[in-house]
């Protein structure tokens, strides 16, 4: 009785194995044919082709390394600034000589963090979005953002860049000038223009044969301009207007930015429930994570720059709670991003989880703004 059953399954597995073998042979045939052609060529042709293949392998190896290694990534990076011990608002005079010729003012922590986050993106790490292989896509046919791999770091960097762009705009429009009575600061204006440059452009020039500059070079120039502004601010040659209405506006902009990201997560979570097989879920998640990563440091910096305002309005406890919620969101670091149903029990829903954290910190930002506006 068992012999026919055993024979049946033996034949089934035989044909399955044969089918797999034929599939592998079909996949490997072009490579085997190319290998036979290669071995029949002369040493000059073989050497030239070998060098080209070696360069391609090295090119892709560098790309894969840069997309997988996150140099300097540290959710607790704000602790290195020791801002709680600073004790002076941005732009506030801290010292002066008897003659009044030499003065010292407080640096802007927002400017420092903005510059350092940009430095983290383009100097500590390679800027992935404008790398040639990233722009060419997967086998020159599929955008890396549409694949489940090699795009998480790029999305994370773009999330950080979104936050520093917003901060640069606010520095130019309100924080780095006395509203209505002073000109726009030159260094801040240059930094804003550089940071708003297209983050995915590889090379840019006025003509096909003219000088061309990759996107990271624009961001590096922004770092120099931001640090130049802070250097002048430290010698009281620049302005940082640490007023309550400016802080209200800055919190409004952050809350609005996070609200847009929350809606982006909501739409993806509601309309796609492919679990681990949603190839765009990781982009949405790591973009949101990058924003929270950057805004965590920028909010801490704003607490230092507007120290007097926070003390006068008795916001210390609420401000600390908001910072703690930002840090709690950065604890969510799944190895594989899943966009499952909210009531599912096999595949988790990381987008909904991240959306929850964003709404929570946004709620606290709105509360901070309400207290400041009383």
Name the DSSP letter for residue 330: T
The H or E element that residue 241 is part of is none
How far is residue 185's CA from residue 231's CA, in Å, rounded to a whole number?
Answer: 13
Domain ranges of the chain: 79-373
Per-residue pLDDT of the chain (374 residues; tens, 9 = 90+): 456 666 666 776 677 777 787 878 787 777 777 667 767 777 787 777 778 878 878 878 888 888 889 999 999 999 999 998 888 888 888 866 555 567 788 999 999 999 999 999 999 999 998 888 887 777 666 677 777 778 889 999 999 999 999 999 999 988 888 765 668 889 999 999 999 988 877 665 544 444 556 888 899 999 999 999 999 999 999 999 999 999 999 999 999 999 999 998 888 888 887 777 777 788 899 999 999 999 999 999 999 999 999 999 999 999 999 999 999 999 999 888 877 777 666 777 888 889 999 999 999 999 999 998 87
Radius of gyration of the chain (CA): 27
Q: Minimal CA–CA distance to 284: which of 188, 140, 152? A: 152
Q: Which two structure tokens, joined as six digits, stand for 68?
A: 């997988």
DSSP string computed for 95-109: EE-TTSS-EEEPPPH
**Using alpha carbons only, what angle is made at residue 356 by residues 355 and 359, rounded to the nearest 5 degrees?**
85
Q: Residue for token digits 């004790």? A: 87
How far is residue 355's CA from residue 351's CA, in Å, rounded to a whole number?
Answer: 6
Give the model's pLDDT for residue 205: 52
Q: Hey, which residues does 212 pair with through a beta bridge?
A: 205
DSSP string computed for 53-65: HHHHHHHHHHHHH
Are 119 and 125 a contacting pair, CB within 8 Å? no
How far is residue 58's CA from residue 52's CA, in Å, rounded to a whole number?
Answer: 10
Q: What is the pTM of this model?
A: 0.85
Q: Minimal CA–CA distance to 150: which of 162, 132, 136, 138? A: 138
Q: Which two structure tokens, joined as six digits, stand for 218?
A: 């624009």
How far is residue 228's CA from residue 123's CA, in Å, rounded to a whole number?
Answer: 18
CB contact set of 283 (below 8 Å; sequence gap of 6+): 145, 151, 152, 155
How far is residue 279's CA from residue 149's CA, in Å, rounded to a whole number?
Answer: 8
């Amino acid at each position: 009785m068992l012999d026919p059953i055993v024979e049946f399954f033996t034949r089934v597995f035989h044909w399955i194995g044969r089918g797999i073998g034929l599939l592998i042979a079909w996949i490997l045939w072009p490579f085997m044919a190319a290998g036979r052609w290669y071995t029949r060529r002369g040493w000059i042709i073989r050497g030239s082709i070998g060098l080209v293949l070696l360069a391609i392998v090295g090119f892709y190896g560098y790309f894969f390394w840069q997309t997988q290694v996150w140099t300097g990534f540290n959710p607790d990076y704000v602790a290195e600034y020791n801002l709680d011990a600073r004790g002076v608002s941005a732009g506030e005079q801290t010292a002066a000589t008897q003659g009044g010729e030499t003065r010292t003012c407080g640096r802007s922590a927002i400017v420092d963090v903005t510059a350092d986050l940009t430095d983290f993106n383009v100097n500590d790490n390679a800027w992935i979005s404008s790398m040639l292989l990233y722009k060419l896509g997967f086998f020159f046919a599929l955008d890396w953002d549409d694949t489940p791999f090699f795009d998480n770091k790029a999305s994370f960097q773009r999330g950080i860049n979104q936050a520093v762009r917003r901060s640069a705009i606010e520095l130019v429009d309100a924080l780095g000038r006395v509203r209505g009575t002073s000109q726009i600061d030159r260094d801040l204006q240059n930094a804003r223009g550089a940071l708003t440059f297209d983050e995915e452009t590889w090379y840019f020039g006025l003509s096909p044969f003219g000088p061309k500059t990759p996107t990271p070079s624009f961001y590096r120039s922004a770092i120099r301009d931001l640090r130049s502004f802070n250097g002048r601010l430290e010698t009281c040659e620049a302005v940082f207007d640490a007023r309550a209405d400016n802080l209200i506006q800055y919190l409004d902009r952050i809350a609005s930015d996070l609200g847009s990201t929350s809606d982006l997560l909501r739409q993806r979570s509601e309309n796609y429930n492919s679990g681990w097989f949603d190839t765009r879920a990781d982009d949405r998640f790591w973009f949101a994570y990058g924003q929270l990563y950057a805004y965590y440091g920028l909010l801490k910096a704003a607490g230092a720059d507007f120290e007097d305002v926070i003390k006068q309005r008795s916001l210390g406890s609420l401000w600390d709670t908001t910072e703690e919620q930002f840090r709690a969101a950065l604890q969510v670091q799944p190895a594989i991003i899943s966009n499952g149903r909210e009531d599912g029990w096999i595949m988790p829903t990381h987008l909904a989880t991240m959306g929850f954290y964003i709404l929570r910190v946004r709620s606290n930002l709105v509360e901070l703004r309400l207290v400041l506006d009383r």
